[in-house]
Structure 1
Amino acid sequence: MALSQLSPFSAMELLLASAIFCLVFWVVRTWRPRVPQGLKSPPEPWGWPLLGHMLTLGKNPHVVLSQLSQRYGGVLQIRIGCTPVLEAEYLLGKFQELMSGPGRFDPYGHVVASVANVIGAMCFGQHFPQSSKEMLSLVESSHDFVESASSGNPVDFFPILKYLPNPALQRFKSFNQRFLQFVRKTVQEHYQDFDKNSVQDIIGALFKHSEDNSRASSRLISQEKTVNLVNDLFAAGFDTITTAISWSLMYLVINPKIQRKIQEELDRVVGRARRPRLSDRPQLPYLESFILETFRHSSFVPFTIPHSTTRDTTLNGFFIPKERCVFINQWQVNHDPKLWGDPSVFRPERFLTSDGTTIDKTASEKVLLFGMGKRRCIGEVMARWEVFLFLAILLQRLEFSVPPGVKVDLTPTYGLTMKHAPCEHVQARLRFHIK
């Protein structure tokens, strides 16, 4: 219909809407931080007005950004909206129990529960209710947090979206509220019988710190801050370790030769008369190289947690203004052919020295999973220890496999941590008994 055929009121509405859109578009395009002379802004692919690159990134932003970097370089700018952007023993027994029943199982849920118990014991000590219905319910619904907490969630850049119906966001909010209530209740119970002469967990250490510095209010940690600290520690450590072990089991069942080499190393170094210990780690380089290759190949933490610049700075000659959201595409670094040669191939040997007896330190430091610099994950060391112990204890006693003809789907689903498709056909065979 021609504009002249519309009623005057409709034509005025259309013209007014067009004028507002043009004004907003002009403001968005012209309001940019002033770039100092001699510097330039990072290159930016074409993006949709107002929406930016939200539609371009799709369901696998780590892959799309990797492809864009091949064209625009290692530092590029995108816009989203208008903003630039020692339960292993229990697990072993559980797997044997499942094999005596249906003869196959999906290990993920059991790994989740075991890792939650370890992190819970570290944070809460004897106050952690391992088998309570409340805890099991929280563990089972933890994916609701991961689903909505990934880098680049539209709600982070379009706050108005939080008022629209969003089932995933509602599940995220519900899980956060339930988990915070659980942590708050457990911290309060812990405080009632706290003994500073017998500190056995993280909460106890925080309480003791507060008592020792009670006269210096600036160093006092309130109970609410303690709740928030423990909340962060539990959530961060729990999901990362769970996902690492789950991916490891999938790589083991599709690479039986690699699994046998790890078990031969365990038999040679640890033997069958005792369980593996953390002190065995330096003498188990092939197991360590397998863990590193799992981190690299899966890259299950595709991006670092988004950070914000505290002041104007430069990177590779590009100007980065204050309060700019920045993150690293860890998946791209871990799949860069220039660094790895054959990044799509799962090959633990790439992390061993030429004689195969030790880890190649230079190669191992190229893997990105826990971030980098001063703001890297503070729980990295603990996470590496836990993954090592879980896998060492499980692989010493069990052999994992899937029935002939069953294909394991390693296609990752994007999220804060990327998960592989469920696999309900895992089998575990006991290698030997420890008396």
Structure 2
Amino acid sequence: MFVGNENIISVAEALIALVVFLLVLSITRSFRKKIPPGLKRLPGPVAYPLIGNIVQMGKNPHLSFNRMRGKYGDVMQVHIGMRPVLVLSGLETIKQALVKQGEEFMARPDLYTFNMIADGQSLTFGRDTEAVWRVRKKLAQNALKTFSSAPSLTSASSCIVEEHVSEEASYLVTKLLQVMEEKGRFCPYRYVVISVANVICAVTFGKRYSHDDKELLDIIHLMDEAEKATGLGNLADFIPVLQYLPNPLMKRFKALVMNFNAFLQKNINRHYESFNKDHIRDITDSLIAQSQDMKFLAKNSIQLPEQKIVNLVNDLVGASFDTVTAALSWCIMYLVSFPEIQKKIQKELDQTIGKERTPRLSDRALLPYAEAFILEVFRHSSYVPFTIPHCTTKDTSLNGFYIPKDLCVFVNQWQVNHDE
């Protein structure tokens, strides 16, 4: 009897194994879409079940992708968890995808963490339709244009933005000289990020903080922690089951997003309480005014909830912190590394502007060497290894390879700058 039961169990186990194998094979085949004639299937490394190519990617995916590029080329597919991801490398390939075929690669993937940012109303991370996205982009541009061209009424600056930047730059230089005198050395990043945050808050909320202000330091800490928590992406975006399991990293990210949203909402609410359409003080006021401008909304034939408009503040603040701080940090690093270039820039400033005043935007044409240096820093440096993930809007092709709709796309920005 015991032997008979053992045989029955063995047969049952074999049948279960066979059913599971056939089921997995069937699912795998269903995912392998038929390739249109004349196109090739995407190349890439073989993926492990459930985890995909996470092991091959390691701690520095941009370096791993660069090595894989030597084998698979500028267009390849990897799996992060269970999700297929298109990885683009090479300047010409990236230009072809994002510029020449921009409308086919312009969407954002439906990622779990993206939906948390700005309560899902983010222009940068959201999944608006093309028509809604274009109107929201135009609203943001209108608000920025107001303060990049509006003349300053209280100083010799050519516009309000320049006034804020000049004021903060003067304070930053004074602060760095003070720290250098007291300590003999310093890390510029800490002071640069505070000054950048101050300019952004001044332009967006009409408020400048002291460098020791707790609210400002808290928001800088939030932005820094959010960047560390996300990195290339959260695994919960690519392995859905992790969304429902205890995950300290995800818990921390949720708390950071919640606190950042609360900070922005508090400032927006203050603006609503004191809003005067005849006295636009900053970008937030401008966005509120546009959200209430029925003529603008009617002209664009799009009915946008007021929340979708005002939440553009999240994108303007969030996007500026890292990019501007990184740009200035790279500039400082290159100037320290190449003192002869620093001397040439200083000489050009002394001969053209003098020491009686600070440079202005109107001096730009008179400072070709300084501008060339800044542009070269932009070209040569990498702020992040990858751009924000893109997503295809329809079935398409690239370099002869078939690219299906809704495929998540990573652009290997680090590789482009490294090759150059």
Q: What TM-score results when the alignment is normalised by the length of structure 2?
A: 0.71
Note if contact 1:206-1:221 (Cα within 8 Å) is conserved in structure 2.
Answer: no
Distance 1:63 1:269, change over 3 A: farther
Cα distance in structure 1, aligned partners of 2:376 and 2:18: 54
Distance 1:324 1:100, change over 3 A: same
SS at structure 1 position matched to 2:311: helix
> Deviation of residue 102 (structure 1)?
1.5
SS at structure 2 position matched to 1:77: strand
> Deviation of residue 287 (structure 1)?
2.5
Cα distance in structure 2, aligned partners of 1:101 and 1:24: 67
Cα distance in structure 2, aligned partners of 1:128 and 1:309: 42
Matches within 5 A, 1:191-206: 191-206=272-287
Note if contact 1:309-1:322 (Cα within 8 Å) is conserved in structure 2.
Answer: yes
Kindly provide the amino acid, as one letter, of the partner of residue 310 in structure 1.
T
Match of 1:119 in 2: 200
SS at structure 1 position matched to 2:182: coil
Match of 2:175 in 1: 94
> Deviation of residue 38 (structure 1)?
1.6
SS at structure 2 position matched to 1:327: strand
Note if contact 2:198-2:208 (Cα within 8 Å) is conserved in structure 1.
Answer: no
Distance 1:126 1:299, change over 3 A: closer
Cα distance in structure 1, aligned partners of 2:173 and 2:214: 22
Match of 2:68 in 1: 68
Distance 1:224 1:47, change over 3 A: same
1:144 to 205, 217, 225: 225
Kindly provide the amino acid, as one letter, of the partner of residue 357 in structure 2.
R
Note if contact 1:144-1:168 (Cα within 8 Å) is conserved in structure 2.
Answer: no
Match of 2:41 in 1: 41
Note if contact 2:83-2:239 (Cα within 8 Å) is conserved in structure 1.
Answer: no
Deviation string 1:326-385 (CA, Å, 9 cap, x unpaired) is 13211112222xxx4xxxxxxxxxxxxxxxxxxxxxxxxxxxxxxxxxxxxxxxxxxxxx
Cα distance in structure 1, aligned partners of 2:344 and 2:7: 79
SS at structure 2 position matched to 1:84: strand
Kindly provide the amino acid, as one letter, of the partner of residue 82 in structure 1.
M
Cα distance in structure 1, aligned partners of 2:18 and 2:219: 49
Residue correspondences, number: 333
> Deviation of residue 278 (structure 1)?
1.6
Matches within 5 A, 1:331-370: 331-336=414-419, 340=420
The question of 1:179 aligning with 2:260 is answered yes
Match of 2:348 in 1: 265
The question of 1:229 aligning with 2:308 is answered no
Match of 2:400 in 1: 317
Note if contact 1:206-1:226 (Cα within 8 Å) is conserved in structure 2.
Answer: yes
Deviation string 1:223-255 (CA, Å, 9 cap, x unpaired) is 432442111110011111112212222222222
> Deviation of residue 141 (structure 1)?
3.3
> Deviation of residue 295 (structure 1)?
3.0
SS at structure 1 position matched to 2:77: coil
Note if contact 1:252-1:258 (Cα within 8 Å) is conserved in structure 2.
Answer: yes
SS at structure 1 position matched to 2:397: strand
Distance 1:263 1:164, change over 3 A: farther
SS at structure 2 position matched to 1:151: coil
Note if contact 1:119-1:237 (Cα within 8 Å) is conserved in structure 2.
Answer: yes
> Deviation of residue 17 (structure 1)?
6.8
Cα distance in structure 2, aligned partners of 1:291 and 1:177: 36
SS at structure 1 position matched to 2:376: helix
> Deviation of residue 186 (structure 1)?
0.7
Note if contact 1:306-1:326 (Cα within 8 Å) is conserved in structure 2.
Answer: yes
Cα distance in structure 2, aligned partners of 1:227 and 1:7: 69
> Deviation of residue 90 (structure 1)?
1.6
Note if contact 2:41-2:401 (Cα within 8 Å) is conserved in structure 1.
Answer: yes
How large is the RMSD of aligned CA atoms in angstroms?
2.9
The question of 1:276 aligning with 2:359 is answered yes
Deviation string 1:284-304 (CA, Å, 9 cap, x unpaired) is 233233333333443122212
Q: What TM-score results when the alignment is normalised by the length of structure 1?
A: 0.69
Deviation string 1:56-106 (CA, Å, 9 cap, x unpaired) is 111221222122222222211111122211221221111112112112111
Match of 2:136 in 1: none
Cα distance in structure 2, aligned partners of 1:229 and 1:249: 30
SS at structure 2 position matched to 1:335: helix
Distance 1:285 1:138, change over 3 A: same
> Deviation of residue 152 (structure 1)?
4.2
Note if contact 1:138-1:175 (Cα within 8 Å) is conserved in structure 2.
Answer: no
Report the structure, 1 or 2, having the larger helix content. 2
Q: Sequence identity, in percent?
A: 49
> Deviation of residue 220 (structure 1)?
5.7
> Deviation of residue 188 (structure 1)?
0.7
Distance 1:182 1:214, change over 3 A: farther
Q: Which has the higher contact order (CA 8 A, sep 6+)?
A: 2
Distance 1:14 1:143, change over 3 A: farther
Match of 2:143 in 1: none
SS at structure 2 position matched to 1:142: helix
> Deviation of residue 177 (structure 1)?
0.6
Cα distance in structure 1, aligned partners of 2:64 and 2:332: 28
> Deviation of residue 216 (structure 1)?
5.7
The question of 1:162 aligning with 2:225 is answered no
- Quick check: 8-17 or 179-188, which moved more? 8-17
Matches within 5 A, 1:392-403: none
Distance 1:75 1:224, change over 3 A: same
